[in-house]
Amino acid sequence: MRDLAPRRKAEVCAIVDAHLGRSRVRVFGSRAQRKAKPFSDLDLLVLSAPLGATLRGTVEEAFDESDLPFRVDIAEAALLSPAFRAAIEPQVLPLD
């Protein structure tokens, strides 16, 4: 994951590992492109069937309650329009 301090990266990965599994999650947007400002949001793409309201709420709550100084937005690949998916595809990177 680019444009994140090691401490912040570890915090994001811990939340993802606890609820989603890192192999199912990718990064896109300004942080994937190394164009982020210090408080730019982090865009995560979940590659799976739709999460469902309970799991999505749990993950969003974990990020909201974290010490991260930026917002984390979660997009679900299964719910994206083909046009949006095509637009972000060139910038999608593994969560590592």
Which of 43, 64, 67, 96 does the annotation list as catalytic? 43
**Contact criterion met (CB below 8 Å) for 31 and 1:** yes
Catalytic annotation present for 41: yes
Q: What is the largest CA-CA distance in the chain?
A: 34
Exactly one of 3, 17, 41, 64 is catalytic; name it. Answer: 41
Instruction: Say whether 3 is catalytic.
Output: no
Amino acid at 71: R
Report which DSSP code applies to 72: E
DSSP state of 73: E
Active site residues: 41, 43
